[in-house]
């Protein structure tokens, strides 16, 4: 592998995770793609390889600690190193008041959004310590702002932020940072538009529809560029912090490293610009 840095990205089959992987591929990164959908992972891997990176895929559910350990083991077997971990896999469901949603679904949200990053971090830590590596936990503004009807999601992201802070204290040889990606045009927003009217207060459901209709959702590639930069370059001074993707101190150097365009294989369209 030489000097090619290796980054594990969970939830890499679509949205923010896929775009993060593509940015990393653009700068020649070795990217270990983790998600539950093999077909979508294959396409993202092709994009990474075409961009000049090297990709491997692991079909895994981050709620399973054994699957997380396997993803880390496979990364080491192929790339021989792990320099960063991007914990991006997440779910917004269940939607509905806490007293009414199925507790099994509530538990599932915690398992994916909080325990997944814990399992992945634990499995990767021994290698990350050696390389002064980085853990980037994709969080949400919901970690600090309560959203009626999304109790599991809010609680999981608040806990993820605090886990990041504690991890930074316990592991001084790595950089652990949580990042707010903003409101992004992903499948999660589609779920909010589809299921929100039956589960959220009317004004809240209307807000999510308005984001899409008003063109206020960020393309995934925009916050993903910041996430990719954090995975490769986040300074030790940020360890434990909860940062925003559009902080100029992150966005400016990210643009300098990655540029404005993100080529994608097999799309038959012009390159995507980071600020569109």
Going along the chain, which residue ranges are E strands?
6-10, 30-35, 54-59, 84-87, 134-138, 175-180, 242-244, 261-262, 272-273
In sequence order, the β-bridge partners of residue 136 are 86, 177
Question: Which residue out of 121, 157, 226, 245 is catalytically annotated?
Answer: 157
Within a 10 A sphere around the Cβ of 6, how many other Cβ atoms?
25
Tokens of 121: 């971090």
245 an active-site residue? no
- Among the listed residues 139, 151, 156, 239, the single catalytic one is 139
* Residue 153 is a catalytic residue: yes
Quick check: 36 and 12 in contact, CB under 8 A?
no
Contact indicator for 261, 272 with CB cutoff of 8 Å: yes
Please, what is the Cα angle at 146 between 230 and 235, to 5 degrees?
A: 15
Q: d(Cα 189, Cα 185) in Å, to the nearest integer?
A: 6
Q: Is the preceding peptide bond at 94 cis, omega within 30 degrees of 0?
A: yes
- Which of 119, 153, 208, 245 is catalytic? The answer is 153
87 within 8 A of 116, measured Cβ to Cβ: yes
Report yes or no: 246 and 226 within 8 Å, Cβ to Cβ: yes
**Strand ranges for 104-241 from DSSP E:** 134-138, 175-180
Residue 157 falls in the annotated catalytic set? yes
Residues designated as active site: 139, 153, 157
């Amino acid at each position: 592998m030489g000097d090619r840095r290796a980054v594990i990205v969970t939830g890499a089959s679509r949205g923010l995770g896929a775009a993060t992987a593509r940015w990393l591929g653009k700068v020649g990164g070795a990217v270990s793609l983790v998600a539950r959908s093999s077909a979508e992972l294959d396409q993202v891997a092709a994009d990474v390889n075409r961009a000049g990176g090297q990709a491997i895929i692991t079909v895994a559910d981050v709620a399973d600690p054994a699957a997380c350990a396997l993803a880390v083991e496979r990364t080491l077997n192929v790339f021989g190193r792990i320099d960063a971990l991007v914990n991006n896999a997440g779910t917004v469901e269940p939607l509905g008041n806490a007293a009414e949603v199925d507790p099994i679904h509530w538990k599932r949200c915690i398992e994916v959004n909080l325990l997944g990053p814990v399992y992945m971090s634990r499995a990767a830590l021994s290698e990350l310590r050696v390389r002064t590596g980085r853990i980037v936990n994709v969080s949400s503004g919901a970690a600090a702002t309560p959203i009626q009807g999304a109790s599991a999601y809010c609680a999981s992201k608040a806990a993820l932020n605090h886990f990041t802070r504690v991890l930074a204290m316990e592991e001084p040889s790595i950089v652990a940072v949580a990042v707010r990606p903003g409101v992004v045009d992903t499948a999660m927003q589609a779920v909010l538009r589809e299921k929100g009217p039956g589960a959220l207060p009317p004004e809240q459901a209307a807000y999510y529809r308005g984001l899409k209709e008003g063109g206020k959702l960020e393309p995934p590639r925009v916050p993903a560029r910041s996430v990719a930069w954090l995975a490769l370059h986040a300074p030790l001074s940020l360890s434990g912090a909860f940062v925003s993707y559009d902080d100029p101190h992150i966005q400016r150097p990210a643009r300098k490293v990655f540029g404005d365009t993100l080529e994608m294989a097999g799309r038959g369209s012009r390159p995507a610009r980071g600020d569109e």
